[in-house]
Structure 1
Amino acid sequence: MRIRAGFTLGYECAQSTPMLLMLDIHPSRRHDLLTEQVLQFDQYVQPRKYTDGFGNSCTRIVAPPGLTHITTSFDIQDTGEPDEVNWGAIQHEVQDLPDEVLVYLLGSRYCDTDKLASFAWSQFGYTAPGWGRVQAICDYVHNHITFNYQNADSTRSAYGGWIDRTGVCRDFAHLAVTLCRCMNVPARYCTGYLGDIGVSFVPSPMDFSAWFQVYLGGRWYTFDARHNFPRIGRILMATGRDATDVALSTNFGSAILSRFEVVTDELVGVS
């Protein structure tokens, strides 16, 4: 399957503003690229690439005063297979986890495990450790939160989503990640492209998407509490503890997002 993806983002700055961008695809997907994936700027900037502590590809710029557009467009090869399901994947004892995985058991800015630990054990303590436990958490979150773009709140934590029972894909992911961590399942937040491929067309504008991964059976598996069924055509951009670590842009000064367009389409009949 060939997918064409990309975006146009516009940032309005009152003065020169340092920015950290996480807008490249994840290094693990680079080998699937059929065309180059390059960030382009319509203003003069001097982008500098680096890899962060989570293995994500990042870009540093100083945006000039005024409006700066950032664009990219690329084709990528995808298997066309849905997210893998493995009911036999085991949950590791904490003492057996690799050192680098332990951070994904800890609370973080948007994943306030201390507020949900008691509830998590009362709700999911009866479930058998492993894939079934994570699926039970996804089922719960999927039914507990109602998706509504109008109720997006960039300051809402997992506990806030649990109380409000409304939000967007990041709220589903934060709550599911938090409940997994409470149950000693390492979980990390993911962001990327997810088009309407293999599902009914959705008339609302395309957006980036959030999902999560859990560490079971010695590897990371993808779960999605918002959609709650295996999807086709995910293009991973970044992973981290929560949305803080994978923000599209982090602005060290005033920067207003004035344009936001995302494209993710399957190219049918193109090899």
Structure 2
Amino acid sequence: MIIRAGYAIAFECAAVTPMILHLNIHPSRAADLISPDVVRTDPYYPTDAYLDLFGNRVTRVEAQPGVVTFHNDFTIRDSGSPDETPEDAPLTAVAKLPSEVLVYLLASRYCDSDNLSDFAWSQFGGIGGGAKLVQAICNFVHGRIRFDYATANPRRTASDGFRDGIGVCRDFAHLAAALCRAMNVPARYCTGYLGDIGVPQDPAPMDFSAWFEVFLNGRWYTFDARHKMPRIGRIVMARGRDAADVAISTAFGQPLLKRFEVTTYEEAA
């Protein structure tokens, strides 16, 4: 299938404002692109790009005073298959995990797994099998948190979401990833596009989506505690320990968000 995706995000800057942006798709999906994936600015400003510590493509720009709009519109090939579900198998012992995976067992700013460890072991300690354990955590988080876009809070941690019982997709991902880490399952946070492909259309304005991946059976698998089911057409943009590592925009100043539009849909054949 062919998916069309893009965004238009505008900020009003009172002064010269350096910014870093996680707005490109992840390099692992670059070979699937049909048209270029380029962060464009209006008005035009020079940009630079680099790969961060997690292998994500990041754009640097110095916005001048006034309104700047970042925009993109591209097409990409997708298999059209739902997220792959792993076969259940015993968890890999921590001592046998690849060294580069160990960072995703540690507590982080938003995935404060250390604060959830006692609960996690009391709730999930008797579940055998890696995939079965992760699915049980997804089911729990799906029932624990009520989605409410109006309650989005950029400072909410996993334990806050556990206590509040309300949030947006990033809160589902943070809590599920934190509980997995507490149970010695490596888990990393992901952000990207997820359109209403193969599911009923959501009338709410579209946004970027958040989910998480776990390391099972020697590789990474996608899980989504908000939707609790494999989805079609997921396009990853960035991966990290939590949302702090993959923020869509980080401004070294105080710009005002003036416009935020995201689109992603299956293009007609």
TM-score with structure 1 length normalisation?
A: 0.98
Deviation at 1:124, TM superposition (A): 0.3
State whether structure 2 residue 247 is matched by structure 1 residue 247. yes
What is residue 198 of structure 1 aligned with on the other side? 198
Once residues 257 and 25 of structure 2 are traced to their aligned partners in structure 1, the CA distance between those partners, rounded to angstroms, is: 20
Q: Counterpart amino acid of 1:220?
A: W
The residue correspondences of 1:3-22 to structure 2 (distance < 5 A) are 3-22=3-22
Residues 43 and 64 of structure 1 are in contact (CA less than 8 Å); yes or no, is this contact kept in structure 2?
A: no
Match of 1:175 in 2: 175
Structure 1, 236-245 or 43-52: larger mean CA deviation: 43-52
Question: In 2 relative to 1, CA 64–89 (structure 1 residues): closer, same or farther, beyond 3 Å?
Answer: farther
**Counterpart amino acid of 1:198?**
G
- Hey, what's the Cα distance between the residues in 2 that align with 1:44 and 1:29? 26
Find the aligned partners of 1:243 and 1:4 in 2 and give their Cα distance. Answer: 25
CA contact (8 A) 2:89 2:129 kept: no
Cα separation, 2, equivalents of 1:257 and 1:220: 34
Q: Distance in 2 between matches of 1:90 and 1:206?
A: 38
How many angstroms apart in 1 are the aligned matches of 2:202 and 2:112? 32
Counterpart in 2 of 1:41?
41
Q: Distance in 1 between matches of 2:249 and 2:194?
A: 19
2:93 aligned residue: 93
Query: What is the CA–CA distance in structure 1 between the aligned matches of 2:12 and 2:239, rounded to whole Å?
Result: 27
Give 4+ residue runs of structure 1 displaced > 3 Å after superposition.
Answer: none
| Other-structure match for 2:84 | 84
Q: Corresponding residue for 1:60?
A: 60
Q: How far 1:89 moved relative to its partner?
A: 4.5
1:197 and 1:265 in contact (8 A); partners too: yes
1:70, CA displacement in angstroms?
0.5
Of the structure 1 ranges 78-87 and 222-231, higher mean CA displacement relative to structure 2 is found in 78-87
Deviation at 1:113, TM superposition (A): 1.2
User: What is aligned with 1:155?
Assistant: 155
For residues 185-264 of structure 1, the aligned pairs below 5 Å read: 185-264=185-264
Tell me the secondary structure at the aligned position of residue 180 of structure 1.
helix
Q: Over residues 189-234 of structure 1, what are the superposed CA-to-partner deviations in whole Å (9 max), with x where a residue is unaligned?
A: 0000000000001111111000000000110000000000000000
Letter paired with 1:213: E
Contact 1:87 1:132 in 2 (8 A): no
What displacement does 1:46 show?
1.7
Q: C-alpha distance in 2, partners of 1:63/1:50?
A: 18
Contact in 1 for aligned 2:90/2:128 (Cα 8 Å): no
What secondary structure, in the 3-state scheme, does the structure 2 residue paired with 1:91 have?
A: coil
Q: What is the letter of the counterpart of residue 70 of structure 1?
A: F
Shift of 1:88: 2.7
Deviates more, 1:90-99 or 1:182-191: 90-99
Aligned residues: 269
Gapped regions of structure 2 (runs ≥ 5): none
Deviation at 1:90, TM superposition (A): 4.1
Distance 1:150 1:240, change over 3 A: same
Separation (CA, whole Å) in 2 of partners of 1:90 and 1:237: 30
The secondary structure found in structure 2 opposite 1:127 is coil
Give the partner amino acid of 1:167: G
Q: CA RMSD in A?
A: 0.8
**TM-score, normalised by the number of residues in structure 2:** 0.99
CA distance, structure 1, for counterparts of residue 236 and residue 59 of structure 2: 16
